Amino acid sequence: MAGMKEQQAETFADKLLGFTLPARNARARIVRLDRVIDEVLSAHSYPPPIMHLLSEALVLGALMGGLLKADAGQLTMQAQTRGGVVSLLVCDYRAGEMRGYVDFDQARLEGLGANPSLSALLGDGYLAVTFETGADKRYQGIVPLEGETLAEACAAYFTQSEQVPTLIRVASRSGPEGSIAAGLLVQYLADGEERRERLHVRMDHPDWEHVATMAGSITHEELLDSKLSLEGVAWRLFHEEDEIRIQAGPHLSRGCRCSSEHYHAVIGRFPKEEQIAMQNEEGRIVVDCAFCSKEFDIQPLN
């Protein structure tokens, strides 16, 4: 009989959930963002298309960041574009803390209509995914911004850079009551071990085909259903498996790391003449954080 191990209170939102299918050598991460996504989006008056784009990026950041084993690790996802309405999209994840920002051309966006495509928003560019671990190791993969969604670009990163068969599904919704976004990431590891030979030549492996088919059947409605627990989503998809091992993940929160002390230290690295050029008419340096829109009034430096 199929069973779910490590039973605990059910998870509904703003917390990562991991699970594995031992018999299929598959692992997964699932997340639903509720309060967290409203807090991140509230930093700027983003129009709906940009809200949708950033929501998807935050879900992807949580899913991929949840693969890190060390609390000190960080995942950064950055889209650098050329010719698109969006000039920069960046988000990162560290120990459950998330932040994100989009820089875009408002006038050009208004000319694209209500539902612009990903290519219209991002143009010709690339997606850089960087994993930093607590052991001072840094891994980066870069893939073209192709496909209809950011999720497709991230799946391509794992297939091309990590050589790990990966399926990702993301859904988001915004309305008067707020925003909600959710996603599922499923991967197939050779013999369930990360250091074994990768399956880049075995995308047709029967176990992976089965897992990808089941995971791919998830609907947007199921992902966004606030009354359906994340454990319930895993059970709906894989209840026929002999075993589903549930692994509780960290709580998620908006975590901007800006502070007066941080900016004071950064500005202190510039030559004195450049520091003087940064000062306003009152002789002060005002720095605003793109992630959270806070302004920091830095005292003149000596």
**Which residues pair with residue 130 across a beta bridge?**
76, 140
Question: Domain residue spans in the chain?
Answer: 12-254, 260-298
130 Cβ neighbours under 8 A, 6+ residues apart: 75, 76, 77, 78, 138, 139, 140
Evaluate whether 120 touches 275 at the Cβ level (below 8 Å): no
How do residues 172-228 score in pLDDT, each as one tens digit?
999 888 899 999 999 998 654 444 444 444 567 899 999 999 999 999 999 999 999
pTM of the model: 0.87
* Alpha helices in 123-205, H assignment, sequence order: 150-157
DSSP 8-state secondary structure symbol assigned to residue 299: P
CA atoms within 13 A on the CB side of 268: 10
User: Which residues 6+ apart lie within 8 Å of 284 measured at CB?
Assistant: 297, 298, 299, 300
Model confidence pLDDT, tens digit, residues 61-118: 999 999 998 677 899 999 988 889 999 999 999 999 999 999 999 999 999 988 899 9
Return the CATH superfamily for domain 12-254. Hsp33 domain (3.55.30.10)
pLDDT digits (tens, 9 = 90+) for 139-173: 899 999 888 899 999 998 998 888 889 999 999 99
**Euclidean distance between CA atoms 55 and 171, whole angstroms:** 9
